[in-house]
Structure 1
Amino acid sequence: MSVYDTSKSLDIVAFLPSSSARCPHCSITSSNRHSSYMRKIADLPVQSQSITIYYLKTAKWFCRNQSCEKKVFTERRSWLKPYQRRTVRLEEALRAIVFSTSALQAEKVCKQLGMKVSHNALLNLFIKPHSNESKSLSLALMTLLLNAAILTESLFVMRFLLSQSIYCPTVK
């Protein structure tokens, strides 16, 4: 592992070697490596310095189960969800901040704390369901936000919600 300290951030280059991985679909362990690639992941800041982990050589593996629908899979880590560019603990911290304030204020707070995130990304965290059970709650919340935006004539919120493919009645 290597750490590079710049004036505003810590860049960490990490390599976590593994000789095998378990398929997330069929749970069979494979030791037949397909390929590897580099991922760039954001983590919680340390002393107001943002942290970027250049997580090298995330491995892809061939699944040994012939009947598995996934022939090639990527190894999983408990601290990083699939397809995410932020660690689980950073996502939780950002959610806590955005749920306590508005997205614009949360962006300012995050900047002061050393978390690189835009207000649009924070708004996506607010609207994006945290789990499968809350998808209907998220849709109801977006509908409520859209109605509030129509009443207050907030063009920014309306544009954002419309970009999320939500049905909007014609505004007069």
Structure 2
Amino acid sequence: MNDVVKLLDENLRYISHEIIEDTLFIRVASEKLSLTCPSCSITSTKVHSRYERTFHDLPIQGKKVVYVINNRKTFAEQFLFLPYKAKKSTRLEQEIMKIAKNVSLLVAEKILNRGIAKVGKSTICNLLKKNNRN
């Protein structure tokens, strides 16, 4: 079975297989220790999380084939100006806070949407709450 898996990719390692009804499930894992970010071409070895990814392949001996890959998510690069999972830069959040502290939410929303960034009232409220906790 390892030879069949290696036909797909030399970096895949066969783990196990199971036949359920008319389908052959083949479990594989990647042997790559580092991955390159497609955007910036930086190599990363840090594993963020793992998840299973499935895909179908050509049948083998009349059985449908489903590969289950133990896939790794890696971080390629993190930036100081962009907090983890943030949708807005730190500078933009500071500007939103500066405007929102001096006027009402409705006025702040109008000012921000006019020339700075598309921001809703709920986003402004969430930022105010987050910064008041600190």
With the length of structure 1 as denominator, give the TM-score of the two structures: 0.37
The structure richer in strand per residue is: 2
Q: Which has the higher helix share?
A: 1
TM-score by length of 2: 0.46
